[in-house]
Amino acid sequence: MGSTEFASAGRVRSIVMGLFLVAAIALVVGGRANAAVLYDQVDPTSPESTTSQDFEAMFNNFDAMVADDFTVPVGRTWRLESVLFRGTAELPASIPTGMRVALFANSSNAPGTEISSQVAPITTGSYPRPNVTLPTPQILTPGTYWLGVQAVLNAGNFSGPQWFWADSDAGSFGNAAHFKNPGGGFDSDCVAFTIRSLCEYPDSFHPSHDQSFSLSGTDFSVAPDTEITSGPAQGSTIRTNSATFAFSTSEPEATFTCSVDGGPFEPCTSPVALTGLANGPHSFAARSANSLGGIDLSPAGRDFTVLVPVGPSVACLNARNALKKAKKQVRQASQDVRKAKGQKKKDKAIKKLLKKKEALKKATRAVNKNC
């Protein structure tokens, strides 16, 4: 490309060298995606930025990519769903067709094997600090990764839009950002990923260690929280042999397991109806698990008591009838003693009364046992 074409390309080169664009570029910080922020190294103030673009075929020698690393902590699993890139732009009204978002494995503190590469649409109103949702979310297990990005643009002899990834002066995050320009259009000798500062011209000053971005998605290592939304209250007493519990969770893709009266947790769905509950104490617990197996270790639970009035049993009814009969017989025997004439008849009546009283005691014990 000649010097005339470099009227704009020279500006691109100056960005690679870390020079500050004064008038043509608006530098802004964008909002977050709807998902939870997993990682954030956005610097809202750094004036520097680096070209990271994918032009049409005739300008392939100026295709360039910047990559910066981040780490998924030990014991965590992330689903990367969206990325916010703080950026700058020439002709910001001309929006790229999308942002090519690439993930690389870590290899000796540099970008290694490419894990994925996909062109993501730009959220309306977010350019030139594009907030992009990945068409295919990426599951990331613990370890270090490299995030690369390119604005997919039509350079139009460099009269069209250009985009630059803002650097970060907010601190030192992991390894230094890397840069590559496989076609060598910027004469930086960095045709493969190389520490960005080593790709600059000797007279430039570009101290920034990192790029400005944040990652959003789902942290599957954060166990979902389970909540019982309806059913007998904790510590309550119910006057029925049935109870129904409804429950929910903070993770929309979660599944549930439930336990009744301290039994094993088994698969369930909300609501759960319990029937045929005997009088006495009972318990119900529900817990949720996300799609990667993260389990709520503090299940939601309720303890309650069933107290349903119960009619007398057959044994009780028989014992009560026997007691009633025994009492009647004692009264009759007592009357016979009073009416008896002569000692011989009185002794006989008394003996009979004693037997009836003994039978009354026996009937009383039967009532106490069965009722």
What φ, ψ does residue 68 adopt, rounded to 5°?
-135, 155
At 157 the pLDDT is: 59
Measured distance CA(220)–CA(251) in Å, rounded: 9
Token pair, residue 363, equals 């009937």
Residues 265 and 259: their CA atoms lie apart, in Å, by 5
Whether residues 182 and 275 fall in one domain: no
pLDDT at 21: 29
Last residue of a domain, one of 219, 248, 268: 219
Q: How many residues does the chain have?
A: 371
Name residues whose C-beta falls within 8 Å of residue 147's C-beta, 6 or more positions apart in sequence.
Answer: 67, 68, 69, 70, 83, 101, 102, 103, 104, 213, 215
Residues 39 and 88 in one domain: yes
209 lies in the same domain as 270: no
Q: What is the mean pLDDT of each run of 10 residues along the chain (371 residues)?
A: 27 33 29 67 86 88 94 89 91 80 97 97 89 94 96 74 85 89 86 87 58 90 87 96 94 90 96 96 94 82 92 85 94 91 89 93 92 83
Assigned token pair, 313: 């049993």
Look at residue 97 in the predicted model and tell me its pLDDT.
Answer: 86
Pair (204, 335) in one structural domain = no
The answer to the question of residue 1 being in a domain is no
- The H helix count followed by the E strand count for the chain is 3, 23
Range of the domain at 91: 6-219
Q: Do 217 and 38 touch, CB atoms closer than 8 A?
A: yes
- Other beta carbons less than 10 A from residue 348's beta carbon: 14
Q: What is the pLDDT of residue 242?
A: 96
36-40 vs 213-219, strand pairing mode: antiparallel
209 lies in the same domain as 295: no
- What is the DSSP secondary structure assignment for residue 231, as one 8-state letter? S
pTM of the model as a whole = 0.58
Query: Maximum CA pair distance of the chain?
Result: 151
Specify the CATH number for the domain of residue 245.
2.60.40.10
* Token reading at 169: 């002066």
Question: Tokens 């993260």 — which residue?
Answer: 294
Task: Tell whether 331 is covered by a domain.
Answer: yes
Among 200, 219, 238, the domain-final residue is 219
Domain final position from 290, 306, 322? 306
Same-domain check for residues 174 and 78: yes
Q: DSSP characters for 323-348?
A: HHHHHHHHHHHHHHHHH--SHHHHHH
Do residues 100 and 36 share a domain?
yes
pLDDT at residue number 17: 34
pLDDT of residue 19: 28
Number of domains in the chain: 3
Angle between helices 314-339 and 343-370 (to 10 degrees): 160
Residues 87 and 234 both lie in one domain: no
Same domain, 174 and 77: yes
Residue 230 and residue 319 share a domain: no
Which residue is associated with the tokens 């069965």? 370
Q: Decide if 207 is inside a domain.
A: yes
